[in-house]
């Protein structure tokens, strides 16, 4: 058997069984709008995280690189430092208070 086929098969298995689930999990986790505390405004803001970037970075590096895609304080605060993503209490708050992007039934 050709050793290059074995190497290609190992890489393909790594992509299918490690990278794809990791990236898909991060994408699904960050795809909905979230209610997070904004340290600049001093109140909660509805924001959407760039889920595609989070999924690709999680698949490539093992952790999600987060960036705000849209915020309820924009365009007034557009270009902010996005410190809301690093506020200590926001990580658990975002899981509990996800705002549904689809209309309610």
- CA dihedral (85, 53, 79, 37) in degrees, to 10, reads -20
d(CA 17, CA 59): 11
The CA distance from 104 to 86, in Å, is 30
pTM greater than 0.95 (yes/no):
no
| Structural domain contains residue 103 | no
Q: Is residue 105 part of a domain?
A: no
Would residue 104 count as lying in a domain?
no
pLDDT digits (tens, 9 = 90+) for 74-103: 888 887 888 888 877 666 344 433 444 444
The boundaries of the domain holding residue 11 are 3-97
Model pLDDT for residues 13-53, shown as the tens digit of each residue: 888 888 889 999 999 999 999 898 888 888 888 989 999 99
- The tally of domains found in the chain comes to 1
């Amino acid at each position: 058997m050709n050793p290059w086929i074995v190497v290609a098969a190992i890489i393909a298995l790594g992509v299918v069984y490690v990278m794809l689930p990791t990236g898909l999990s991060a994408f699904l986790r960050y795809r909905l709008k979230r209610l997070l505390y904004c340290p600049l405004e001093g109140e909660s803001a509805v924001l959407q995280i760039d889920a595609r970037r989070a999924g690709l970075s999680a698949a490539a590096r093992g952790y999600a690189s987060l960036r705000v895609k849209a915020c309820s304080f924009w365009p007034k605060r557009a270009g902010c430092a996005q410190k809301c993503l690093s506020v200590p209490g926001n990580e658990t708050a975002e899981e509990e208070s996800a705002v549904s992007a689809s209309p309610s039934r």
